[in-house]
A and B are shown apart, each in its own frame.
Chain A
Amino acid sequence: MTRECYKVGAASTIGIMGRGAKSFGSPEQNELYTRAVAECGRMLDRLTAGYEADLDKRRDLRQDIHLQLWRSFGAFDGRCSLKTWTLRVAHNTAASYVVRERRRNAKLISFEEIERTLESVEQPRDIDRERALREVQQVILKLRPLDRQIIISYLEGMDAASIADITGLTPANIAMKIHRIKKILAHRIREEQSHA
């Protein structure tokens, strides 16, 4: 996977590094955070989009993910890779957010529940990327946090073993769920294209 360049705003650098260097945060912690953001920053943005549709709330969630990520590196013990650690913290922060927001949200569903409602639709000729993305985001936002972790990681191009490392499910379980994801997404895209 290509290493992505990610710009962390000056304000955050001041907030974490500048002030933090005096009052809190070790140089190692700051360095780990910088590395994680350089490696996974854009991925974290996309991940956040999978947990919150409202733009303002999404920004808040994004800030919170970065704060929790920076805090977590104070206890980084190398039990897993930097990327896995980063994604675990990000997904878990977002999952906690979903649980807190749950009383305002509609009922969340699982892959299995979506799968049961699928009807057959013909294969489309062309894929409209933008529409397909919107459709996928809508599907993701309805899902339970664990299923979101899987679908987002799948879209990020991660393999079953890496997803298993983040979620704690078995690779076999992940493979089964990915199979369901493909079925659901294919159906949604076909449906979307047939309506277009």
Chain B
Amino acid sequence: MRELPEFTELRAAWLNQPEEEIPVDIERINRRRTWALFSTTRSEIISSIGAALFFAGIMAWRFAPERDRLVLFGCAGVIVWAAVTVFRFRNSIRRHTPQPDALARTGLDHYRVELLRRRDHLRSAWIWHGPLLLACILSAATLTKRIVPGRFRDTLPVFLLLAGHAVVGIKRRVRQAAELQQEIDEISGVSPMEE
């Protein structure tokens, strides 16, 4: 196929991009802090569970001595849910190294697997965001029960903010999961090359 001059020029521009001056330094990978960029799934789960346990811990510290059933059972619920979440997503939380040849699949196969993995993670957002939401509800309910003038009103914005954050987070992830599903459907419609 004959190329138009503009494509020849464009290809020449692409091929003659300035060379990267910094040499490849594989050891730097082990030192760099940006490893978090490569563990979105894990960091999302850990941060959500961490926030929930922190919240439950504060509640237990402040109100457990009063032997309030709501606080005791509520905190226990948050801890159990968090433990179940950690167990359920243990494979996502653990830093794992892929099989050496896992990346040598065709682009289509690899991309589909990555999209499916991310979609499943997003679809289960309600499970790993649940403890945080429960901790927010528990805190609000505990403070509402107590007749301490001003206490609930003072802390209400914080609870609303946290609860709102959790709800918006779940909704955003559900929407992203739907977008990923649409993309999965699109690439599934493309006939793969016969090996």
For the complex, give the distance between the alpha carbons of A49 and B101 in Å: 24
Contacts of B103 in A (CB 8 A): 68, 72, 88-89, 92-93, 96
For the complex, give the distance between the alpha carbons of A77 and B101 in Å: 9
**CB of B153 to closest CB in A, whole Å:** 35
Contacts of B32 in A (CB 8 A): 60, 63
User: Do B29 and A166 touch (CB < 8 A)?
Assistant: no
**What 1/0 mask marks residues of chain A from 54 to 74 whose CB sits below 8 Å from any chain B CB?**
000101101110111011111
User: Do A9 and B108 touch (CB < 8 A)?
Assistant: no
Contacts of A45 in B (CB 8 A): 17, 19-20
For the complex, give the distance between the alpha carbons of A112 and B38 in Å: 30
User: Do A167 and B106 touch (CB < 8 A)?
Assistant: yes
How many A-B contacts if CB must be within 8 Å? Answer: 192
Determine whether B104 belongs to the interface, using a CB cutoff of 8 Å to chain A.
yes
User: Do B17 and A133 touch (CB < 8 A)?
Assistant: yes
Chain B contacts with A in 1-47, Cβ cutoff 8 A:
4-7, 9-17, 19-20, 22-29, 32, 34, 37-40
User: Do B14 and A136 touch (CB < 8 A)?
Assistant: yes
Determine whether B183 belongs to the interface, using a CB cutoff of 8 Å to chain A.
yes
Determine whether A8 belongs to the interface, using a CB cutoff of 8 Å to chain B.
yes
User: Do A100 and B19 touch (CB < 8 A)?
Assistant: no
User: Do B192 and A75 touch (CB < 8 A)?
Assistant: no
The majority secondary structure among interface residues of chain B is helix
Q: Which of A71, A77, A155, A165 contacts B10 (CB 8 A)?
A: A155
For the complex, give the distance between the alpha carbons of A157 and B23 in Å: 25
User: Do B101 and A59 touch (CB < 8 A)?
Assistant: no
Contacts of A138 in B (CB 8 A): none
Q: Which of A91, A173, A185 contacts B107 (CB 8 A)?
A: A91
Determine whether B105 belongs to the interface, using a CB cutoff of 8 Å to chain A.
yes
The majority secondary structure among interface residues of chain A is helix
Determine whether B91 belongs to the interface, using a CB cutoff of 8 Å to chain A.
no
Contacts of B106 in A (CB 8 A): 88, 165-168
Determine whether A95 belongs to the interface, using a CB cutoff of 8 Å to chain B.
yes
User: Do B20 and A9 touch (CB < 8 A)?
Assistant: no
For the complex, give the distance between the alpha carbons of A146 and B193 in Å: 14
Which of A70, A79, A155 has the most chain B CB within a 10 Å cutoff?
A155
Determine whether B176 belongs to the interface, using a CB cutoff of 8 Å to chain A.
yes
12 A-B pairs in the complex with CB atoms less than 8 angstroms apart? A72-B103, A88-B106, A95-B111, A99-B118, A124-B6, A127-B6, A145-B111, A155-B11, A167-B108, A168-B106, A168-B109, A185-B6
Q: Given A136-B10, A185-B6, A189-B6, 7 more contacts at CB 8 Å? A: A11-B25, A95-B111, A95-B114, A129-B9, A129-B16, A157-B15, A167-B106
Chain B interfacial positions (CB closer than 8 Å to A): 4-7, 9-17, 19-20, 22-29, 32, 34, 37-40, 97, 99-101, 103-111, 114-115, 118, 176, 179, 183, 186-187, 190-193
Chain A interfacial positions (CB closer than 8 Å to B): 7-12, 14-16, 37, 42, 45-46, 49, 57, 59-60, 62-64, 66-68, 70-77, 79-80, 85, 88-89, 91-93, 95-97, 99-103, 107, 110, 124, 127, 129-130, 132-133, 136, 144-146, 149, 155-157, 164-171, 173, 182, 185-186, 189
